[in-house]
Structure 1
Amino acid sequence: MADDDALLRAGVALVLETDDRIEVVGQASDGLQAVELCRRLGPDVVLMDVRMPGIDGVEATRRITAAGPATRVLVLTTFHHDDYVWGALRAGAAGFLLKRASAERLIDAVHTLAGGESVLDPAVTRDLVAQVVGRGPERPPPSPEDTRLAQLTAREREVLRLAAEGRSNREIASVLVLAESTVKTHMKRILAKIDARDRAQAVAISYRSGLMPPRDPLGGY
């Protein structure tokens, strides 16, 4: 766990250790300490605050994922509109969650990341989409990501769009009236086609390319 608020760290640690499958192996009060602890301890999952002294959570995430891709980083943010979240995703974070999430949601998120999947808080995702919409009609220049996304089938684009809204595989299956196993298969194919390491990077690529136009945030989802 990396957060400059000692009280919050202690509280979250207590919550996590109510699950006998989770062990909090280290706590860091700043980004540099988080990087060093990850280097020594090799944790499965890091809960990362983004606003810390020294190097922030974005830079810490970049160094951690570059040094040990097996370590998954879950960004914890206080605000829906935290601008650091986008930077953390691009730096290699596997997901993001609001700090006010329930104990059950936090524990489930740790297991989800440890299992190789990603967690995208819908409330935060909506604000990321709104930021993209707020850029107006200007389109980014063509990039290799454009070509990769063009390989997706119509169904795969729909699955990726719903994932970009922060929906889980189960929720996507419900919306599209598919088996959850089918959605998982689609996600695996999407990741392979666009060369994304996980769901979070796939979402980041879809936003950055501009080929997955978000819905009007005023109209909701």
Structure 2
Amino acid sequence: MPDATTTDATPLPAVVLVDDHGMFRAGARAELEGLVNVVGEAGDVDEAVREIARLDPDVVLLDVHLPGGGGVEILRRLATEAPAARCLALSVSDDPQDVIAVIRAGARGYVTKTIAPAELADAVRRVNDGDAVFSPRLAGFVLDAFAGIGSGDGSPREDDPELDQLTAREREVLRHIARGYLYKEIAQRLGISPKTVEAHVSAVLRKLQLSTRHELSRWAVERRLVD
């Protein structure tokens, strides 16, 4: 892994930028300088898979629409050629079909190109730490499709005994954890205290037999209780 450190010797996440517009890649590289370590770039599917497998970055910033099959094709091939790769979709598109397709294919999150550089760097760090990250306005329908709260059509599932263990409030907290929100943010959104959020998370972890918040986030997004 390429070495790069911040002033306090904390390693910066190594990132590969995948986008078919060279000017965007150059601009993103410049804006992210000092926030992440951009170790490589790619402009199409074949080049992206090759560079990701070669460089083994911490996080891949992945555009959705690319020559040669797009982000979904890259994710499909990475499942075999670089299965440890963590991809964060970064796209101008906020079309639900695009978002759901890349998350279904294995992306760890989805943010739009309107995101500020500091927020994008934070999203990269969170994905590197195991969180799932979405732009807030995209999170609702992503959760409906992937967080295991419903069947994808808005109706509750009736065939999940693990999820059935959770109270309504615990499910609300689970929804927000899957979106990547911090305890303080969840507390503000639900009108409860951060300590109460922490208590709910502890209860969910115990019921699902998980150990950490990051494991819970992965469980909620990756389990995909969708018919």
Identify the TM-score tier after normalising by the shorter chain. Answer: 0.7 to 0.9
Indicate if the aligned counterparts of 1:32 and 1:55 stay in contact, CA closer than 8 A.
no
Residue by residue over 1:126-183, the C-alpha shift from the partner in whole angstroms, topping out at 9 and shown as x without a partner, is 45468999x867x59876xx34422434443121223456644331133332336556
Indicate if the aligned counterparts of 2:177 and 2:216 stay in contact, CA closer than 8 A.
no
Distance 1:186 1:68 in 2: 35
Return the offset for 1:25. 0.9
Corresponding residue SS for 2:61: strand
Corresponding residue number in structure 2 for 1:199:
217
In the alignment, which of 5, 16, 19 is matched to residue 3 of structure 1?
Answer: 19
Return the offset for 1:107. 1.1
2:97 partner amino acid = D
Indicate if the aligned counterparts of 2:132 and 2:178 stay in contact, CA closer than 8 A.
no
The TM-score normalised by the length of structure 1 is 0.73
Please show how residues 149-164 of structure 1 align to structure 2 within 5 Å.
Answer: 149-163=163-177
Distance 2:23 2:201 in 1: 38
The TM-score normalised by the length of structure 2 is 0.71
Distance change in 2, residues 1:116/1:131 (3 Å): closer
Corresponding residue number in structure 1 for 2:130:
116
Please show how residues 22-41 of structure 1 align to structure 2 within 5 Å.
Answer: 22-41=36-55
Percent identical pairs in the alignment equals 35
Corresponding residue number in structure 1 for 2:115:
101
Structure 2 segments unaligned to the other structure (5+ residues): 1-16
In the alignment, which of 104, 108, 111 is matched to residue 90 of structure 1?
Answer: 104
1:17 partnered with 2:41: no
Distance change in 2, residues 1:3/1:198 (3 Å): farther
Distance change in 2, residues 1:204/1:74 (3 Å): same
Corresponding residue SS for 1:24: strand
Structure 1 segments unaligned to the other structure (5+ residues): 210-221
Distance 2:193 2:170 in 1: 14
Distance 2:216 2:85 in 1: 13
Distance 2:204 2:44 in 1: 34
1:90 partner amino acid = R
Distance 1:117 1:64 in 2: 19
Distance 1:66 1:149 in 2: 30
Distance 1:41 1:83 in 2: 30
Distance 2:172 2:93 in 1: 28
Corresponding residue SS for 1:86: helix
Return the offset for 1:13. 1.0
Return the offset for 1:53. 0.8
Distance 1:171 1:119 in 2: 14
Corresponding residue SS for 1:26: strand
Distance change in 2, residues 1:107/1:152 (3 Å): same
Corresponding residue number in structure 1 for 2:9:
none
1:17 partner amino acid = E
CA RMSD of aligned residues (A): 3.5
Distance change in 2, residues 1:54/1:17 (3 Å): same
